[in-house]
Amino acid sequence: ANFSEQVVESFPSDMSTGIYYGWACVGNGDVHKMVLSIGWNPFYKNIKKSVETHIIHTFKEDFYGEILSIVIIGYIRPEKNFDSLEALISAIQEDIEEAKRQLDLPEHLKLKEDNFFHLPEGKIVNNH
């Protein structure tokens, strides 16, 4: 799930590029573990900074247009380039496993239940 340019520009400018982990919620659905990439994705030679969320869950259908709420808990590693697609995929898999380990820690697990993720029905967020 990628955030719009407007949302990316609202992230703190001094936030380091790289791979983060935390919690994500689509709409008023369940809260799931996630890995977040912030940066230029050098392997794909992006010219604009992007924020891409990989939710560690299999959804039954697309969720385009839904509100995606995230809480960033920690930092895994800096952004880097890769020599091959296979190396990139391998690093992503390692990032996912590290996120799962970290988010299973009691101090991180309790944040899954934060009220931030439970919007009242019909509440307008950021004019949406």
Residues identified as active-site: 52
- For 69-90, give one letter per residue: b (16+ CB within 10 A) or e: bbbbbeebeeeeeeeeeeebee
Condensed to tens digits (0 to 9), the pLDDT of residues 46-87 reads 778 889 999 999 988 888 888 899 999 999 999 988 899 899
User: What pLDDT does 36 receive?
Assistant: 96
Q: Does domain 5-117 have CATH number 2.40.30.30?
A: yes
Query: pTM (2 decimals)?
Result: 0.85
What residues does each domain of the chain span?
A: 5-117
CA–CA separation, 30 and 55 (whole Å): 11
Condensed to tens digits (0 to 9), the pLDDT of residues 17-38 reads 999 999 999 988 899 999 999 9
Structural element, H or E, at residue 57: none
Please give the span between the terminal C-alpha atoms of the chain, in angstroms, as a whole number.
18
